[in-house]
């Protein structure tokens, strides 16, 4: 596809339940054939937004366009959108083949053609013999694939997925992430995927929208969200991070000096789009992998930020291992990623280490809710 | 050894009330009734083993015609109860939430806190010649004189459906409560309309509830005595009345017992046939 046309667009969609604003003027535009995720904590309004796109809820205001046409007056059974439900909602009273054929029967497709299409789609999701089985004979991952096949056989313009991996165990979830991405690639269907799991969103998506309290905080590629968060919420929610709250002391051409609430001085750079004045309450975020670990203070050189403390835990997880260091001066816990060279593989609890990170690895945001923290 | 025999004694003690109840109140009377039904009186206090009582049922048209009428009316009453009860149960279990749902459920049960006799008299007050409906019709000028609405088949049917409603609605609500709302939504999402979702998703799911509700309502209706007698009057011709007649009025216990057994056998046959026709099994419907 040379020019990617917009298949799904929402314009200032708002949904209120009484006084509560579940979705607050959300606008998005999703190019055809892409994998778009909406990432947010539970209760942020992502499911409400998805149900409005599917047609089960009516927006209080705003408009939804599919292929350039407003679908507000179109009931869910006539929208070119299908949904994979959180608990999949496969019909237990039907066989696998009947589940897949259900939507085709509603379209009055001839019987022979239905059988043909069911066979084809079962082949494509890698379950060619599953047709006559009952739903309760399938494993978790197989159910997943059937639920997706049941929608894809209808060749929808947009496939909505509402946290479909939530019920699976960790191992299978990791596997299904890759498989979902592959399925999306093979079918070329636009996927809109809802999740509260940042790793699902980062691994699978072309674009991720981070949603918080009914609004989109930031929309961008997984890389942009991770390396260039636009808000404190995104910085805290996407990926793991260390965080200190405090007040801005000096501002010097984008480089800030922040005095933490514990009286600790930290250097960082202003996040893009922020404007902070001295005295303003702010949060500083540092990724665990941006922190350099050293056994001697001298090994850190003249790095901007430094701390030292004792290791309180070693969280070994293969290539993704970390330590937690308790800094006695600021009485705070710091997460730091262990380098994959195995240099610190002998590090154990109670040992003294020195930590440091440069100012450009620490990003500062105006603190929105500093009273609460 | 000691512990396993201890378990056995415990199990026997636990099941003893059930077995006693089944034996003393169900099996024993039926065995005796069966023995009574299989004899005929040839002289005072002299009895002979014979099938004459059963033969009488089939040779005397009024008996089996009454039975057929009772069976057909009961099937119709069951069907009507299902037709009215299903939307009520669907509404309570799927459309209402929380407190409203509990309230609606209690309202469904409320009439059953009153005895069946009182409930039936309530219908008589409404339907009789000098009753509420008749007066309203006259007051509105639709009827010129008093209208008698009691003592016909429609009145019996109204009474039977009303009496049975709870026994249909409760199992239906229970099964439909267990239907995940997202299945209904998926039914619509994949292109179904109200009718197809009802036919392909909701009814198949509710089938065990429908079957158990229908069996209970059919059996209760078939064995009902009060409602047909009070609302149907002298011409109601309900089979239980025939049994009552034989036992109490004619003092012919032999024929009465035979009728009792025929009622049991034929109603079981009808339930079996119903299960076969709807391709359901009794064990599935009762779990």
Residues of B within 8 A of A151 (CB-CB) are: 190
What is the DSSP-derived secondary structure letter of residue A289? Answer: G
Strand partners, A269: A255, A363
| Residue A255 phi, psi dihedral angles, 5° rounding | -95, 130
Instruction: Please report the pLDDT score of residue A244 as a whole number.
Output: 86
Residues of A within 8 A of B280 (CB-CB) are: none
At B3, list the tokens: 């512990």
Residues of B within 8 A of A75 (CB-CB) are: 188
Q: How many residues does chain B have?
A: 287
| Residue B205 near chain A (CB below 8 Å) | yes
Q: To probe the interface with A, which of B181, B191, B193 has the most A CB atoms within 10 Å?
A: B191
List the single residue in B183, B192, B204 with the smallest CB-CB distance to A106: B192
Distance of CA A347 to the CA centre of its chain: 32
ipTM of the complex: 0.79
Residue of A nearest to B204 (CA): A93
| Residue B278 near chain A (CB below 8 Å) | no
Residue of B nearest to A100 (CA): B190
Cα–Cα separations (whole angstroms), residue B154 to B57, B130, B222, B228, B278: 27, 18, 16, 11, 27
List the single residue in B182, B193, B204 with the smallest CB-CB distance to A89: B182
The set of residues, in sequence order, having a beta carbon less than 8 Å from that of B71 and lying 6+ positions away, is: B222, B266, B267, B270
Instruction: Tell me the mean pLDDT in the region B163-169.
Output: 91
Cα–Cα separations (whole angstroms), residue B280 to A68, A90, A135, A208, B211: 49, 22, 19, 49, 8
The set of residues, in sequence order, having a beta carbon less than 8 Å from that of A76 and lying 6+ positions away, is: A54, A55, A56, B185, B188, B189
Cα–Cα separations (whole angstroms), residue B159 to A17, A85, B73, B77, B80: 44, 45, 12, 9, 12
Angle at A146 between CA A140 and CA A149, to 5 degrees: 145
**Domains of chain A and any CATH numbers:** 6-232 (3.40.50.300), 240-366 (2.40.50.100)
> The whole model's pTM is what?
0.78
List the single residue in A56, A82, A93 with the smallest CB-CB distance to B205: A93
d(CA A252, CA A276): 11
List the single residue in A82, A87, A150 with the smallest CB-CB distance to B182: A87
Contact B189 A83 (CB under 8 A): yes
The set of residues, in sequence order, having a beta carbon less than 8 Å from that of B259 and lying 6+ positions away, is: B57, B63, B239, B242, B243, B246
Instruction: Please report the pLDDT score of residue A39 as a whole number.
Output: 92
List the single residue in A89, A91, A103 with the smallest CB-CB distance to B191: A103
Cα–Cα separations (whole angstroms), residue A299 to A267, B194, B195: 19, 72, 75
Please, what is the angle between helix B203-222 and helix B61-90, to 10°? 140
| Residue B279 near chain A (CB below 8 Å) | no
Instruction: Please report the pLDDT score of residue A369 as a whole number.
Output: 55
List the single residue in B189, B196, B200 with the smallest CB-CB distance to A76: B189
Instruction: Say which residue, B243 or A263, is predicted with more confidence.
Output: B243
The set of residues, in sequence order, having a beta carbon less than 8 Å from that of B83 and lying 6+ positions away, is: none
DSSP string, chain B: -HHHHHHHHHHHHHHHHHHHHIIIIIIHHHHHHHHHHTEEEEETTEEEE-SHHHHHHHHSHHHHHHHHHHHHHHHHHHHHHHHHHHHHHHIIIII--HHHHHHHHHHHHGGGGS-HHHHHHHHHHHHSTTSHHHHHHHHTTS-SS----SSSHHHHHHHHHHHHHHHHHHHHHHHHHTS-HHHHHHHHHTT--HHHHIIIIIHHHHHHHHHHHHHHHHHHHHT--HHHHHHHGGG---HHHHHHIIIIIS--HHHHHHHHHHHHHHHHHHHHHHHHHTT--HHHHH-
d(CA A13, CA A45): 12
Instruction: Please report the pLDDT score of residue B119 as a whole number.
Output: 87
Place of tokens 């981070």: A210
Contact B191 A77 (CB under 8 A): yes
Q: Which residues of A184-213 are buried (b: 16+ CB within 10 A; e: fewer)?
A: beebebbbbbbbbebebbbebbbbbbbbbe
Strands, sheet with A207-212, edge to edge from the N-terminal-most edge strand: A81-84, A158-162, A190-195, A35-39, A207-212, A215-220
d(CA B169, CA B175): 10
At A148, list the tokens: 């997706």
Q: Does 1.10.3720.10 match the CATH number of domain B52-286?
A: yes
Residues of B within 8 A of A89 (CB-CB) are: 180, 182-183, 185-186
Cα–Cα separations (whole angstroms), residue A332 to A197, A263, A294: 26, 12, 18
pLDDT tens digit sequence for B3-31: 667 778 888 888 888 888 888 888 898 88
Distance of CA A90 to the CA centre of its chain: 25
Average pLDDT, chain B: 87
Going by C-alpha positions, the residue among A56, A157, A201 that lies closest to residue A47 is: A56
DSSP string, B143-193: -SS----SSSHHHHHHHHHHHHHHHHHHHHHHHHHTS-HHHHHHHHHTT--
d(CA B17, CA A341): 74
| Residue A108 near chain B (CB below 8 Å) | no
At A226, list the tokens: 């991770």
Contact A89 B201 (CB under 8 A): no
DSSP 3-state assignment of A326?
Answer: strand
Structural domain boundaries in chain B: 52-286
Going by C-alpha positions, the residue among A367, A199, A353, A345 that lies closest to residue A291 is: A353
pLDDT tens digit sequence for B26-83: 889 888 888 888 888 777 777 778 888 888 888 888 888 888 899 999 999 999 999 9
Residue A269 CA neighbour count, 13 Å, CB half: 14
| Residue A136 near chain B (CB below 8 Å) | no
d(CA B214, CA B82): 7
Going by C-alpha positions, the residue among B109, B93, B243, B277 that lies closest to residue B177 is: B93
Calculate how close chain A gets to B186, using CA atoms only, in Å. Answer: 6
Residue of A nearest to B180 (CA): A89
Q: Which residues of A133-147 are buried (b: 16+ CB within 10 A; e: fewer)?
A: eebeebeebbbbbbb
Instruction: Please report the pLDDT score of residue A371 as a whole number.
Output: 40
| Residue A56 phi, psi dihedral angles, 5° rounding | -85, -15
Indicate the Cα dihedral angle A240, A246, A248, A254, nearest 10°: -10
Instruction: Tell me the mean pLDDT in the region B207-220.
Output: 91
CB A39 within 8 A of CB A238: yes
| Residue A47 near chain B (CB below 8 Å) | no
d(CA B173, CA B88): 9
Per-residue pLDDT of chain A (373 residues; tens, 9 = 90+): 434 688 999 999 999 998 899 999 999 999 999 999 999 998 889 999 999 999 999 999 999 999 989 999 999 999 999 999 988 899 998 999 999 999 999 999 999 999 999 999 999 888 888 889 999 999 888 998 899 999 999 999 999 999 888 778 888 888 888 888 988 988 889 999 999 988 888 888 999 999 998 999 899 999 999 888 888 888 888 888 888 888 888 888 778 888 888 777 888 888 777 777 788 888 888 888 888 888 887 777 778 788 888 888 888 887 788 888 888 777 778 888 888 777 787 888 888 888 888 888 888 888 765 443 3
Residues of A within 8 A of B180 (CB-CB) are: 87, 89
């Amino acid at each position: 596809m040379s020019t990617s046309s917009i298949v799904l667009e929402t314009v200032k969609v708002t949904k209120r339940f009484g006084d509560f604003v579940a979705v607050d003027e959300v606008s998005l535009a999703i190019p055809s054939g892409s994998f778009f995720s909406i990432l947010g904590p539970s209760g942020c309004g992502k499911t409400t937004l998805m149900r409005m796109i599917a047609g089960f809820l009516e927006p209080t205001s705003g408009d939804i366009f599919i292929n350039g046409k407003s679908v507000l007056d179109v009931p869910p059974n006539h929208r070119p959108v299908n949904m994979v439900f959180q608990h999949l909602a496969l019909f237990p009273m039907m066989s696998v083949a009947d589940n897949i054929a259900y939507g085709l029967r509603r379209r009055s497709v001839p019987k022979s053609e239905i059988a043909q299409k069911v066979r084809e789609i079962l082949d494509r999701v890698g379950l060619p013999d599953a047709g006559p089985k009952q739903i309760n004979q399938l494993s978790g991952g197989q159910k997943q694939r059937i639920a997706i096949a049941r929608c894809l056989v209808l060749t929808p313009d947009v496939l909505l997925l509402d946290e479909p991996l939530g019920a699976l165990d960790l191992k299978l979830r990791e596997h299904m992430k890759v498989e979902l991405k592959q399925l999306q690639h093979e079918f070329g269907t636009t996927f809109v995927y809802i999740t509260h799991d940042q790793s699902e969103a980062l691994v699978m998506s072309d674009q991720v929208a981070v949603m918080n309290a009914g609004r989109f905080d930031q929309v961008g590629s997984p890389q942009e969200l991770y390396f260039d968060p636009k808000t404190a919420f995104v910085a805290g929610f996407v990926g793991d991070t260390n965080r200190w709250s405090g007040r801005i002391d000096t501002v010097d051409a984008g480089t800030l000096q922040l005095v933490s609430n514990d009286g600790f001085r930290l250097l960082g750079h202003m996040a893009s789009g922020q404007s902070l004045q001295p005295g303003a309450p702010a949060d500083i975020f540092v990724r665990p992998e941006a922190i350099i670990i050293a056994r001697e203070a001298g090994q850190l050189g003249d790095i901007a930020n430094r701390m030292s403390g004792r290791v309180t835990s070693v969280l070994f997880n293969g290539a993704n291992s970390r330590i937690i260091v308790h800094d006695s001066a600021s009485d705070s816990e710091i997460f730091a990623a262990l380098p994959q060279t195995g240099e610190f593989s002998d590090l154990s609890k109670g040992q003294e280490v020195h930590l440091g990170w440069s100012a450009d690895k620490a990003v500062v945001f105006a603190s929105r809710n500093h009273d609460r923290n | 050894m000691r512990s396993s025999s201890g378990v056995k004694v415990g199990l026997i003690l636990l099941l003893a009330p059930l077995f006693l109840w089944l034996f003393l109140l169900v099996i024993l009377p039926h065995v005796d009734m069966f023995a009574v039904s299989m004899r005929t009186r040839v002289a005072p206090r002299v009895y002979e083993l014979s099938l004459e009582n059963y033969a009488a049922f089939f040779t005397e048209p009024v008996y089996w015609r009454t039975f057929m009428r009772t069976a057909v009316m009961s099937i119709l009453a069951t069907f009507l109860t299902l037709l009215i009860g299903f939307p009520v149960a669907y509404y309570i279990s799927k459309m209402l939430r929380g407190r409203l749902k509990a309230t609606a459920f209690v309202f469904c049960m409320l009439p059953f806190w009153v005895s069946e006799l009182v409930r039936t008299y309530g219908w008589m007050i409404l339907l009789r010649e000098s009753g509420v409906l008749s007066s309203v019709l006259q007051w509105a000028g639709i009827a010129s004189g008093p209208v008698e609405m009691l003592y016909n088949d429609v009145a019996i049917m109204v009474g039977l459906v009303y009496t049975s409603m709870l026994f249909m609605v409760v199992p239906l609500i229970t099964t439909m409560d267990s239907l995940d709302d997202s299945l209904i939504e998926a039914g619509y999402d994949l292109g179904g309309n109200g009718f197809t979702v009802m036919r392909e998703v909701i009814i198949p799911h509710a089938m065990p509830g429908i079957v158990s509700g229908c069996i209970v309502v059919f059996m209760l209706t078939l064995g009902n005595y009060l409602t047909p007698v009070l609302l149907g009057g002298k011409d109601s011709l309900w089979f239980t009345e025939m049994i009552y007649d034989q036992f109490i009025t004619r003092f012919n216990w032999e024929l009465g017992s035979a009728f009792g057994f025929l009622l049991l056998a034929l109603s079981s046959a009808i339930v079996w046939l119903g299960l076969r026709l709807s391709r359901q099994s009794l064990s599935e419907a009762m779990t």
